[in-house]
Structure 1
Amino acid sequence: MSFSKARPLVLVGAGKMGGAMLTGWIASGIDPQTIVVIDPAPSSDLLSFAARKGFRLDTALPAGTMAGVLLLALKPQMMASALDALKPSADAETLVISIAAGTPSAVFEAAFGETAVVRVMPNTPSQVGRGMSVAFANARTSEAQRETVDTLLAAIGASAWIETEDQMDAVTAVSGSGPAYVFYLTEALAAAGVKAGLPEDLAMQIARQTVCGAGELMYRVETPAEELRRNVTSPNGTTAAALAVLMADDGLQPVLDAAVAAARKRSKELAG
């Protein structure tokens, strides 16, 4: 592990994503005394959590802190002002991890110099331990530091690595933004149910549980999604009739292609 009581895991920002990671780390058995959380406006829940679990919580970087791992869970627009204040907490042995969308590793290399930098794109299901996180490491990141990243991400779900940073825009478009696509699919499915004659509340209940159940099934079994789809589809049945619409040349696939392309393009624009 790349952090300890002497060189702690410093989490900067404990909002929804940072807070989800923190909760996962504590639940997975990471020693709270090896964690320092920096949040300029901690919520009452965060203050209570710190008091119960014993990790250090400060509104600013404690003087003399040298991080083993410095994890930046900040919005991209807050990053530039925060980096100057954080420079004293990192040296050549520090592992810098950023979960800020659209901020390339070069920004952190410029701020902290010759140090290991890992960019991570998590997604919101991390809040319930079902996240998908994808990571990119710069050339200075050691195998031991990669293992530390794997350990930290395992506490909030599954993870994978990419070897070229330019793939991060596609990752953002698929998994970072992807939960919103699923939520919208749920809304659209419920709306279609209403148009088919169901009461609004019932249509949403059915759509929501169907999406949740299908996701849980994919999570629990290794069966490919394509095979799971075929298992539901009886020849000439109701599902086959619906899929003939969804899988037509002008069906769902080209819409998703366009949506992912638009999200990827915007990710590139935000990165400058």
Structure 2
Amino acid sequence: MTSSPNTILLAGCGHMGSALLHGWLKSKLPLRLYVLDRHYQPPAGAPVTVWRTLADIPEDFRPDMVVLAVKPKGADAFLEALHERLGRGLSHATLLSVAAGRSCANLAKASGGMAVVRAMPNTPAAIGAGTTGLYSAPDVPPARAALAAQLMKAVGAVVEVPHENDLAAVTAISGSGPAYVFLLAELLEKAGQHLGLNAETAKLLARNTVYGAGEMLHEDPLSAEQLRRNVTSPGGTTEAALKVFMAPDAWPATVERATEAAAHRADELSQ
């Protein structure tokens, strides 16, 4: 038995919105896709209806889910305008927000009372390798919470959290996490050049090492700690480096302080 298609309105098709849409188009999910964006151009033949402005949306349009991918600063104003346009047409819709720093309470108020699911994806979603933290408010129907998870799984892994304030920790670890990894690659490149390698060689070594280690973490069931130990021969080169990285005032303390700072800022932005 084939499921009835869900009607999805994607509001905003920038980097994250377009990544989501690309994932949905590749998936086999039964969806009717509508995009609200001034500039998005769909691929030829793509089963997507594009509207440029709110005024282009038919007043009798009835979405099952509105995916909010606009900039956080404009989220409230957009939702208020959408509610003004569609009114009761949103009464059975669920809001899936990927706008960082906007709480369920704020989003529900701005949208005229929609049930809200908050998602915290990260930038590797652009290549289908994202990680998303997902929180569903208590008034979200289970079927809609499941649909939200399916939509985000189209661009990577999904972790559902039981409390909204858990999203601050998600932001600190996976939401901001790619930047930490990119910084490591950047610093390894610079260190390679400091040790005498040319820039292109240092870049290749650093990037492929990060990529390969990431693949091992993804594919190997061993813990990260055990994988680290497997590389570390007693008295060897890796152990010499790790003694520096793992000094009490080095990585163990720095990573904890850095992620606490990110989580604290995520809490502030959600107020």
Structure 1 length normalisation: TM-score? Answer: 0.91
Task: Verify the 8 A CA contact 2:10 2:66 in the aligned structure 1.
Answer: yes
| Counterpart position of 1:174 | 173
Task: Verify the 8 A CA contact 1:114 1:140 in the aligned structure 2.
Answer: no
| Counterpart position of 1:91 | 90
| Counterpart position of 1:70 | 66
Task: Verify the 8 A CA contact 2:76 2:107 in the aligned structure 1.
Answer: no
Offset, 1:31: 4.6
Q: Do structure 1's residue 56 and structure 2's residue 55 form an aligned pair?
A: no
Partners in 1 of 2:236 and 2:170 — Cα distance? Answer: 36
**Match of 1:18, SS?**
helix
| Counterpart position of 1:158 | 157
Task: Verify the 8 A CA contact 1:193 1:203 in the aligned structure 2.
Answer: yes
Matches within 5 A, 1:27-176: 27-31=26-30, 34-42=32-40, 47-49=41-43, 51-61=44-54, 62-63=57-58, 64-87=60-83, 88=86, 90-176=89-175
Offset, 1:52: 2.3
> Aligned residue pairs: how many?
263
**Match of 1:8, SS?**
strand
Offset, 1:113: 4.1
Task: Verify the 8 A CA contact 1:10 1:35 in the aligned structure 2.
Answer: yes
Cα deviation per residue 1:70-112 (whole Å; 9 max; x = unaligned)?
0000111111221122112653321110011110000122123
**Structure 1 runs not aligned, ≥5 long:** none
Offset, 1:15: 0.7
Q: Percent identity?
A: 38
**Structure 2 runs not aligned, ≥5 long:** none
**Match of 2:267, SS?**
helix
Task: Verify the 8 A CA contact 1:123 1:175 in the aligned structure 2.
Answer: yes
- Partner AA of 2:75 in structure 1: M
Over the aligned positions, Cα root-mean-square deviation in angstroms equals 1.7
Task: Verify the 8 A CA contact 2:69 2:97 in the aligned structure 1.
Answer: yes
**Structure 1 ranges of 4+ moved more than 4 A:** none
Task: Verify the 8 A CA contact 1:122 1:131 in the aligned structure 2.
Answer: yes
Cα deviation per residue 1:225-251 (whole Å; 9 max; x = unaligned)?
111111111111111111111111012
Moved more, 88-97 or 257-266: 88-97
Distance 1:74 1:4, change over 3 A: farther
Partners in 2 of 1:150 and 1:266 — Cα distance? Answer: 26
Offset, 1:41: 2.6
- Partner AA of 1:72 in structure 2: L
**Match of 1:165, SS?**
coil
Partners in 2 of 1:67 and 1:171 — Cα distance? Answer: 29
Structure 2 length normalisation: TM-score? Answer: 0.92
Cα deviation per residue 1:20-71 (whole Å; 9 max; x = unaligned)?
0100011012356x010110232xxxx142x321210111231221110100
Partners in 2 of 1:162 and 1:114 — Cα distance? Answer: 22
Distance 1:4 1:22, change over 3 A: farther
**Match of 2:10, SS?**
strand
Matches within 5 A, 1:194-213: 194-213=193-212
Task: Verify the 8 A CA contact 2:134 2:149 in the aligned structure 1.
Answer: no
Distance 1:48 1:102, change over 3 A: closer
- Partner AA of 2:108 in structure 1: E
Offset, 1:116: 2.1
